[in-house]
């Protein structure tokens, strides 16, 4: 499963387009776009996307390991990715994530910002379609996997939409929110469906639920202590409005993402070091890191710290630097 295949790229436009599109359904996109919306667009939009994303992805990941539908056979398919090859195929969680994020963003913003409805709908459709097509191009999913993932995500989004405001209100105001946000995801991760061989799905699910848990605790804490919200009033004098806004947006993003990535690196090292000491294994031992008692706390603590940092520590730093 770890072997690579030789192939010849005949159309570099499609190759790079779909390789890039595939990355829109992976950690590099989640760890940049979701915090970006919190720092620069709207807190309520970010909260709703994270709620939908975490629920949709958990259901998608668990469904894979319950259904156990294999990925496309290779040959005849040429697979351009190897990391997720050990996972099952149905449903495509890339398709689920792309559909959930793009359409939840569209639905959450269409009544808050002035832009053509058709343009927003088309943007959400193009984004999700590109990610779905990338899974076919890279040989990682069948057409049925992709359609199934998109449809499941759409159904879940329709079911969750009427409860958005209620869920958001409870997560912001309930005194039990921090406990609920940590305990429930941990229970789900420790009771993840068992497989006959190792698959990265449990680790990826723990990463997603951990990040959402940390962010949710951050949302609750900010609401309790009335943390200052981002505004568009801080412009550099003498610069055109658009230019100063872009400078502010980019400054927030680069400062924030630097702190988030630093948090991830530090927490990975610290948590792995502690678990290695506790269970007597070297940090570079890949097999040991795949064990349940290591993988779940390692990923959960690391990424809950990332979520908390993005929603609490980074905004405090932005305020200190005059970027609010």
The Cα–Cα gap between 61 and 59 comes to 6
The Cα–Cα gap between 145 and 136 comes to 9
Residue 6 placed within a domain: no
Asked if 45 and 142 touch (Cβ cutoff 8 Å), the reply is no
Per-residue pLDDT band for 84 (boundaries 50, 70, 90) equals: low
Query: Which residues have a catalytic role annotated?
Result: 94, 141
Query: Got the DSSP string for 273-299?
Result: HHHHHHHT--TT-HHHHTSHHHHHHHH
Residue 234 placed within a domain: yes
The Cα–Cα gap between 206 and 35 comes to 18
Per-residue pLDDT band for 257 (boundaries 50, 70, 90) equals: very high
Residue 306 placed within a domain: yes
Neighbours of 150 (CB within 10 A): 23
* Residue of higher predicted confidence among 272 and 140: 272
Q: According to DSSP H, which parts of 110-240 are helical? A: 117-137, 143-160, 164-173, 177-190, 201-224
Q: Percentage of residues in the chain with pLDDT exceeding 90?
A: 31
The Cα–Cα gap between 204 and 141 comes to 18
Query: Does the pLDDT value for residue 206 go beyond 90?
Result: yes
Instruction: Report, as an integer, the average pLDDT of 279-283.
Output: 83
pLDDT score recorded for residue 4: 55
282: left (phi over 0), alpha (psi -120 to 50) or beta: beta
Instruction: Report, as an integer, the average pLDDT of 281-304.
Output: 87
This prediction has a pTM of: 0.84
The Cα–Cα gap between 296 and 105 comes to 29
Residue 5 placed within a domain: no
The Cα–Cα gap between 23 and 16 comes to 11
Domains identified in the chain, total number: 1
Per-residue pLDDT band for 17 (boundaries 50, 70, 90) equals: confident
From 59, 64, 78, select the one nearest 155 (Cα to Cα): 59
The Cα–Cα gap between 300 and 88 comes to 22
Task: Residue 173: give the domain boundaries.
Answer: 12-321
Residue 268 placed within a domain: yes
Rounded to a whole number of angstroms, the CA Rg of the chain reads 20
pLDDT score recorded for residue 288: 83
Query: Does the pLDDT value for residue 267 go beyond 90?
Result: yes
- Give per-residue burial for 163-175: e unless 16+ CB within 10 Å, then b: ebeeebeebbeee
Residue 225 placed within a domain: yes
């Amino acid at each position: 499963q770890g072997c690579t295949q030789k192939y010849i790229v005949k159309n570099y436009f499609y190759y790079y387009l779909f390789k890039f599109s595939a990355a829109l359904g992976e950690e590099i996109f989640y760890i940049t776009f979701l915090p970006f919306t919190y720092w620069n667009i709207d807190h309520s939009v970010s909260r709703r996307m994270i709620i939908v994303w975490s629920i949709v992805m958990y259901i998608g990941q668990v469904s894979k390991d319950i259904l156990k539908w294999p990925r496309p056979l290779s040959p005849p398919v040429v697979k351009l990715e190897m990391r997720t090859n050990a996972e099952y195929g149905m449903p495509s969680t890339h398709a689920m994530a792309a559909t959930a994020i793009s359409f939840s963003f569209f639905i959450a913003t269409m009544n808050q910002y002035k832009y053509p409805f058709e343009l927003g709908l088309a943007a959400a459709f193009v984004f999700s379609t590109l990610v779905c097509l990338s899974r076919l191009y890279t040989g990682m999913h069948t057409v049925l996997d992709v359609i199934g993932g998109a449809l499941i995500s759409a159904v879940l989004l329709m079911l969750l939409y009427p409860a958005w405001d209620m869920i958001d209100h409870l997560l912001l105001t309930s005194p039990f929110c921090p406990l609920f946000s940590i305990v429930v995801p941990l229970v789900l991760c420790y009771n993840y469906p068992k497989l006959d061989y190792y698959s990265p799905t449990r680790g990826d699910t723990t990463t997603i639920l951990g990040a959402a848990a940390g962010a949710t605790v951050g949302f609750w804490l900010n609401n309790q202590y009335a943390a200052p919200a981002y505004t568009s009033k801080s412009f550099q004098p003498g610069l055109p409005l658009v230019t100063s806004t872009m400078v502010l947006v980019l400054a927030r993003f680069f400062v924030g993402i630097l702190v988030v990535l630093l948090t991830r690196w530090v927490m990975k090292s610290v948590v792995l070091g502690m678990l290695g000491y506790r269970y007597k294994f070297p940090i570079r031992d890949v097999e040991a890191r795949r064990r349940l008692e290591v993988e779940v706390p390692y990923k959960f603590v690391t990424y809950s710290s990332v979520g908390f940092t993005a929603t609490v520590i980074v905004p405090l730093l932005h305020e200190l630097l005059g970027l609010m």
